[in-house]
């Protein structure tokens, strides 16, 4: 039998908070990629026409699937790879032809790259000794670096005597000990278990806040990127798809790829039947018409995909309300902090609806429901 509920007024869009201080926006960028391209075989491009600015003091994450170009971009910034064309500059000065050891960047890898025969203190001190820093100054800097990562009592141990999280902290202390203006991290938490990984994400973000050093972080994990970053640069097929603050990246994806890769989306496929003052009207195979934000300028007659976040989809008891479509509950899934309804929609992919815990009116499997997708949250991509 149909599941009904009193209709509620559509939620108004929230004001997206600006997480990066306004002062950073006024400063010249610390790093600039200008028309950078990279090819390993002279034919296919791993990175295509990259124009990217990294702000001083920000936490920027390069996010994308395997083979998207994010790691190659980091390696070019580090100096381990050279651009095929284009220029990379640091504080306005070209660095494309400067070798890695002269760029003075801190680097943290997924495999930690610690020396097993050295103690923790010796590992952290290594960047200072190769720079010819005196013994007394070296000891003082190592002590400060180990205190920053809360390992001040473990300096005499060797890496094999530490947990994975502790080894990661040693690698981070080693990257920070010589006061670099830029720290590059390539999937540094990838080898950790889920709980420790989430704990280290919080620690890294807090350390970044305290130090004010510019962090450039590579990951394929969308939740990791959203948790830690000031801004996220999304890559796919060698091209930068969107760079934005985490709030805007999630709420206003620039294209279909970003909408599908960052977070979950409920999608509806259809054809544009008209253009409205605020967006466009899309006809679904069921005959229902919905209105949404025309993100990429789709024209009448074009096939499009409409996307909306599961938490923005509402249950409503009014079938003839605008932007409402019928579905059947296929499953009710418990996620710990919320419930999700997986709903079958005729002629469409399954629709996901996110509900808070504690609702007394959760439908059951097999119930007919009516789903409302507010126009301001329904984004249309061609």
Beta-carbon neighbour count of residue 276 at 10 Å?
11
Q: What is the pLDDT of residues 231-284, one digit of tens each?
A: 999 999 999 999 999 999 999 999 999 999 998 999 999 999 999 877 999 999
pLDDT of residue 345: 95
Distances (CA, A) of 202 to 26, 130, 199, 209, 229: 28, 31, 5, 11, 11
Q: For residues 127 and 21, what is the distance between their CA atoms, to the nearest angstrom?
A: 32
Do 349 and 265 touch, CB atoms closer than 8 A? Answer: no
280-294 CB burial, b ≥16 within 10 A, e <16 = bbbebeeebebbbbb
Q: What is the pLDDT of residues 65-111, one digit of tens each?
A: 999 999 999 999 999 999 999 999 999 999 999 999 899 899 998 77
Q: Given the structure tokens 């028309």, which residue do they identify?
A: 35
Q: What is the pLDDT of residues 36-74, one digit of tens each?
A: 999 999 999 999 999 999 999 999 999 999 999 999 999
Q: Which domains does the chain have, with CATH numbers?
A: 27-256 (3.40.50.300), 265-381 (2.40.50.140)
Q: For residues 33 and 53, what is the distance between their CA atoms, to the nearest angstrom?
A: 6
Give the pLDDT band (50/70/90) at residue 322: confident
Task: Calculate Rg over the CA atoms of the chain.
Answer: 25
pLDDT of residue 25: 56
pLDDT of residue 199: 86
> Which sign does the torsion angle of CA 218, 224, 228, 232 carry?
positive
Q: For residues 376 and 360, what is the distance between their CA atoms, to the nearest angstrom?
A: 27
Q: For residues 123 and 115, what is the distance between their CA atoms, to the nearest angstrom?
A: 6
The β-bridge relationship of strands 266-275 and 280-283 is antiparallel
Q: For residues 270 and 289, what is the distance between their CA atoms, to the nearest angstrom?
A: 9
Phi and psi of 264, rounded to 5°? -95, 150
Determine the Cα angle at 247 with ends 244 and 209, to 5°.
80
Q: What is the mean pLDDT of residues 352-367?
A: 89
């Amino acid at each position: 039998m149909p599941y009904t509920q009193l209709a509620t007024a559509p939620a108004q869009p929230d004001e997206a908070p600006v997480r990066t201080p306004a002062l950073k926006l006024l400063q010249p960028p610390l790093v600039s990629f200008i028309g950078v391209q990279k090819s390993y075989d002279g034919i296919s491009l791993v990175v295509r026409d990259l124009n990217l600015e990294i702000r001083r003091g920000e936490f920027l994450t390069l996010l994308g699937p395997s083979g998207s170009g994010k790691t190659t971009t980091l390696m070019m910034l580090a100096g381990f790879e050279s651009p095929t064309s284009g220029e990379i500059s640091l504080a306005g000065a070209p660095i494309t032809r400067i070798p890695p050891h002269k760029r003075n960047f801190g680097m943290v890898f997924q495999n930690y790259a610690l020396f097993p025969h050295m103690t923790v203190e010796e590992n952290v001190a290594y960047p200072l000794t190769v720079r010819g820093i005196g013994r007394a100054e070296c000891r003082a800097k190592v002590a400060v670096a180990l205190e920053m990562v809360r390992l001040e009592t473990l300096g005499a141990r060797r890496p094999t005597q530490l947990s994975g999280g502790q080894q990661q902290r040693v690698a981070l202390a080693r990257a920070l000990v010589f006061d670099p203006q830029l720290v590059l991290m390539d999937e540094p938490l990838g080898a950790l278990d889920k709980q420790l990984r989430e704990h280290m994400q919080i620690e890294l973000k807090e350390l970044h806040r305290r130090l004010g050093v510019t962090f450039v972080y590579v990951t394929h994990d969308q939740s990791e990127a959203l948790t830690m970053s000031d801004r996220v640069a999304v890559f796919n097929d060698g091209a930068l798809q969107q760079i934005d603050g985490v709030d805007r990246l999630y709420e206003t994806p620039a294209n279909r790829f970003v909408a599908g890769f960052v977070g979950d989306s409920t999608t509806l496929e259809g054809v544009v039947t008209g253009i409205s003052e605020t967006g466009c009207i899309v006809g679904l195979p069921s005959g229902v018409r919905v209105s949404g934000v025309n993100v990429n300028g789709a024209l009448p007659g074009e096939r499009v995909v409409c996307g909306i976040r599961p938490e923005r989809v509402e249950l409503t008891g009014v079938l003839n309300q605008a932007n409402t479509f019928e579905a059947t509950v296929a499953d009710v899934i418990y996620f710990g902090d919320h419930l999700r309804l997986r709903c079958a929609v005729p002629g469409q992919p399954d629709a996901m609806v996110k509900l808070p815990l504690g609702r007394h009116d959760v439908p059951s499997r097999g119930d007919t429901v009516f789903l409302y997708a507010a126009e301001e949250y329904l984004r249309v991509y061609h």
